[in-house]
Amino acid sequence: MPATVPAADTPVAKTDQPIGLWLFFVGTAALVVSLSQSILIPVLGELPQKLDTSVSNVQWLLTSTLLVAAVAVPLMGRLGDMFGKRRLLLVSVGSLVAGSLLTALTSNITLLIVGRAIQGLSAAAIPLGVSLLSALVPREKAGTAIATVSAMLGVGGALGLPLAALIAEHADFHVLFWITAAAGLLALAGIWALVPEDASRTGGRIDFVGTVLLGGALVSLLFPLSQATKWGWGSVEVVGLLGLSAALFVVFAVAQTRIAQPLVDLATLRRRPILLTNIASIFFGFALFASLIGTASYVQAPAATGYGFGSSVLTGGLAMLPSGLAMLILAPVSAKVAQRIGAPRTLAIGAVIVAVGWAARIVATDSLWQVIVGTTVVGAGTGIGYAAMPAIINAHTATNELAAANGLNTLVRSVGSSLASAVGGAIMAASTIALGGAEIPSLDAYRQLFAICAVASVLAAAIALAIPNIPAAKQPGH
């Protein structure tokens, strides 16, 4: 096991290199990848009729991306450490472009699902981009670059809703995929032409056994979570798949200790800073996705519900726009704060801000502006937290393991988002009001979800404060 060193201790870049362009193209790739994961949410309701297919088939446009991403992120992170982070980043962004083009050119539901699955491979672009910049950029500039790319995981989700809603009102949904294809192609060309490869590579063999076991465990975990509202939490399918997932995780853990070059270095994961950061990341991922599902539908609900404003799909999406902008603006600020007080404390500050935002959402329900302010506060705290996470991961991880470590952190954030989808769906299905022949989630249901998010954020803050503070000399960007 190589000694733990901060990623920025061995930069290969000189100060006269076009670091701003590197950040622009890598950040664009991260933004478009994140955007592609949420961009269909506002238009899902109209797709069954447009595609002449069932609601369950349309749901696979989201599920296929989620499941492929769950397997791709840890595998491609490990491959990036082995064979080159830039090389695998190009593969990830290329997958986004290929999947976007396929989905833009067809209305066949099977081909659309295949295209979305191909897009799922691109989810590894964010941790690969974070790791590549960590290794390339000099320490005095690394913090801001890393924070900005990491925060894109939240920014893209928040910006995807208003963009998709705008397109839905004025154009065909295929335009969404043309946009991601064009932006992805721009990022791909820029990375290929301007961003150099990182010198640190481990080489070695691919752990096929670990890949199959981890992939099976993750799919068995995430698939029932995505279907729990429809199947029921006590159904044989949900209970059986979750049990299978637990068993596969145990077998995976045992197998990794007996393989010379494992897919995941469990010794690294057991380090207190890495373990605690990943646990806190689950709570942050939960809070972010709950904001997505608890804002647009909330403001679009009829006024007769006692809480909704009867807003259009576009207004519902635009309600998330300030949140996305707050994440984007505060990411570099978070990096500066982390340099001064340490990334763990910065992570805790972000979590407290998220908790305040959710508390505001519980009590402030009279006006649309109150909902937008509360959501923006949640976004601001999430952006600060997302930007601080890779600083902790990088400071406690060897340079030749950065991509794998950041990939797992990205993955656990996604697990948190999947939990939010499942838990939020269950809460809203359990407490409804009848209105115009339809069952609509009650205000109490939303408040329960917001309260859970507030508690989760407080727990994330407590966990962050238990993480050993990073010495100033080891902070990226110091």
Q: Residue 416 maps to which CATH number?
A: 1.20.1250.20
Do 13 and 157 lie in a common domain? yes
pLDDT band for position 363 (50/70/90)? very high
Q: Is the pLDDT of residue 473 over 60?
A: no
pLDDT on residue 7: 40
Do 218 and 242 lie in a common domain? yes
Domain end position, chosen among 244, 260, 276: 260
Of 89-93, 143-147, 201-205, 291-295, the range with the highest mean pLDDT is 89-93
List the single range of 19-28, 201-210, 295-304 with lowest mean pLDDT: 201-210
pLDDT mean over 35-46: 82
Do 299 and 215 lie in a common domain? no
pLDDT on residue 14: 46
Length of the chain, in residues: 478
Do 143 and 229 lie in a common domain? no
pLDDT band for position 242 (50/70/90)? very high
Residue 1 belongs to a domain: no
Do 456 and 326 lie in a common domain? yes
Residue 254 belongs to a domain: yes
pLDDT on residue 9: 41
Q: Is the pLDDT of residue 5 over 70?
A: no
Q: Is the pLDDT of residue 1 over 50?
A: no
Residue scoring higher pLDDT (279 or 42): 279
Do 234 and 105 lie in a common domain? no
pLDDT on residue 358: 94
pLDDT mean over 423-431: 82
Residue 441 belongs to a domain: yes
Do 188 and 226 lie in a common domain? no
**Total domain count for the chain?**
2
The percentage of the chain sitting over the pLDDT mark of 90, rounded to a whole number, equals 36
Please name the amino acid found at residue 253: A
Do 272 and 342 lie in a common domain? yes
Residue 269 belongs to a domain: yes
Give the integer Cα–Cα distance in Å for 461 and 457: 6
Residue 353 belongs to a domain: yes
Do 78 and 191 lie in a common domain? yes
Structure tokens at 401: 């393991």
pLDDT band for position 470 (50/70/90)? low
Taking the complete model, does pTM exceed 0.85, yes or no?
no
Residue 87 belongs to a domain: yes
pLDDT on residue 8: 39
Residue 2 belongs to a domain: no
Structure tokens at 144: 């801001």
C-beta of residue 99 within 8 angstroms of C-beta of residue 122: yes
Residue scoring higher pLDDT (387 or 289): 387
pLDDT on residue 231: 84
Q: How far is CA 317 from CA 320, 408, 439, 442, in A?
A: 6, 30, 22, 20
pLDDT on residue 461: 95
Q: Is the pLDDT of residue 136 over 70?
A: yes
pLDDT on residue 94: 97
Q: Is the pLDDT of residue 462 over 90?
A: yes
Q: Which domain holds residue 242?
A: 208-260
Q: Is the pLDDT of residue 123 over 60?
A: yes
Do 93 and 157 lie in a common domain? yes
Q: Is the pLDDT of residue 431 over 90?
A: no
Q: Is the pLDDT of residue 410 over 90?
A: no
Q: Is the pLDDT of residue 295 over 70?
A: yes
Residue 146 belongs to a domain: yes
Do 453 and 370 lie in a common domain? yes
Do 153 and 255 lie in a common domain? no
With a CB cutoff of 8 Å and minimum separation 6, the contacts of 401 are 2, 81, 202, 265, 268
What rounded mean pLDDT belongs to the chain? 86
Please name the amino acid found at residue 386: Y
Domain end position, chosen among 245, 260, 275: 260
